[in-house]
Amino acid sequence: MNSPAPLLPGSTLGVLGGGQLGRMLAIVARRMGYRIVAWTDGPDAGPADLADEVVAEAFSSPEALAAFLAKAEAATVEFENIPQSLLDAVAERIPLLPGAASVAVCQHREREKRFLERAGLPRVRFSVVSDPSELRTALATLPESGGILKTAEFGYDGKGQLAVSADSDPDSVWTGFAGSRAVLEERIDLAAELSVLVVRDRRGGMLAYDPVENFHRDHILDLSLAPARLEPRILDEARSIALAAAEALDYRGILAVEFFLAGDGQLLVNEMAPRPHNSGHHTIDACDTSQFEQQLRVLCGLAPGSTRLHSPAAMLNLLGDVWIAAGGCPDWASVAALPGAHLHLYGKHEARRGRKMGHLTFTAPSLGEALAAQARAREILGIPAAAI
């Protein structure tokens, strides 16, 4: 890729999307002297309020595209479910990092699985199905543990997923399943989940953050621990696979690679996110350079920053359930009094069950101390204990 002159402070950067990831990028941009124009795909995107300018129109609007391109000198995505035609249209006019082809792979499960297969990267055994007949054939290959049927596109936080077994009736399953094409994954004996963030610059230089150990509740990330409490061999292998994935994608920007660790010790790539990731939020408070500053640095053609973890950290997701349980505003004063507490709220206007409203990161001299602080925060906020 050609490396034009870096975009310096004062430049305007475009963000496709109006959620919390764009908000956190805007915070970094303001600190470093850049401007942000956010295209939100519609009105009432609370997290986009920190952008300098907002294009609050549908992604299908030609007028909005023209307005966005008139302001942005380079662009990035803050979530992957952007129409391919829009990604291509933006990339034709200004630098788009990550590129349209990389986002297209990560936004579609079938393309992502095929990419991993071609690249020779370890993954869960899968079948692609498009009708009940193909599903019947695929179900017959499942082990006793069964499988997970997932929509081929536009799925996240467990949405568009259904547990099935070899005995499931393909006709009834397909009738009740959303989507015309799906990926059937074999269910594995899961020992742990982890993720690795990779930053790859415009020249192809790469750095990886320390792997993070993740815990989910109802398919939504609940807790992330850095550093991960896993064998060094596993952590080194996870870094190597994540770096190989970024190189095979010819990626530019910040890439999150999520892994399953099977009971037999095998690491398997679950999925990739072409953007900053929920499991990387600890980098804001616990690393030399946050994942959001890395995103900005690569977009502007600047050298990546250090990925060093300077403090062990426990990152706790804050869902709308916390506000509902409190009957309004949670007890932030008590939470803020906890050692090593860093509160991040996303400016969303309405709290709903399962909706990501913010996160808490606890840094400490040891991971045990950070874990103790997050456990106390759970008690204060009425969040169930973590399954660690």
Q: How far apart are CA 239 and CA 198, in angstroms?
A: 8
Would you write out the chain's pLDDT as a tens digit for each of its 388 residues? 456 799 999 999 999 999 999 999 999 999 999 999 999 999 878 889 899 999 999 999 999 999 999 999 999 999 999 999 999 999 999 999 999 999 999 999 999 999 999 999 999 999 999 999 999 999 999 998 899 999 887 655 556 788 999 999 999 999 887 667 899 999 999 999 999 999 999 999 999 999 999 999 998 999 999 999 999 999 999 999 999 999 999 999 999 999 999 999 999 999 999 999 999 999 999 999 999 999 999 999 999 999 999 999 999 999 999 999 999 999 999 999 999 999 999 999 999 999 999 999 999 999 999 999 999 999 999 999 998 8
Parallel/antiparallel/unpaired status of strands 212-217 and 220-226: antiparallel
* Residue 342 in tokens: 């860093």
Going by the DSSP 8-state scheme, the letter that residue 41 receives in this structure is S
Q: How far apart are CA 97 and CA 202, in angstroms?
A: 9
DSSP state string for 48-87: GGGSSEEE-S-TT-HHHHHHHHHH-SEEEESSS---HHHH
Going by the DSSP 8-state scheme, the letter that residue 116 receives in this structure is H
pLDDT at 45: 82
Q: Where are the domains of the chain?
A: 12-96, 125-186, 190-381
Fold adopted by 125-186 = Dna Ligase; domain 1 (3.30.1490)
pLDDT at 157: 57
Going by the DSSP 8-state scheme, the letter that residue 339 receives in this structure is T
Best CA proximity match to 209, nearest among 333, 83, 309: 309
Best CA proximity match to 194, nearest among 162, 238, 150, 158: 238
DSSP state string for 321-379: HHHHHHTSS--HHHHHTSTTEEEEE---S---TT-EEEEEEEE-SSHHHHHHHHHHHHH
CB-CB neighbours of 109 under 10 Å: 22
Fold adopted by 12-96 = Rossmann fold (3.40.50)
* Residue 230 in tokens: 């896993």
pLDDT at 382: 96
Parallel/antiparallel/unpaired status of strands 253-262 and 313-319: unpaired
pLDDT at 387: 86
Write out the E strands in 72-219: 74-77, 126-129, 147-151, 161-164, 182-186, 190-200, 206-208, 212-217
Fold adopted by 190-381 = D-amino Acid Aminotransferase; Chain A, domain 1 (3.30.470)
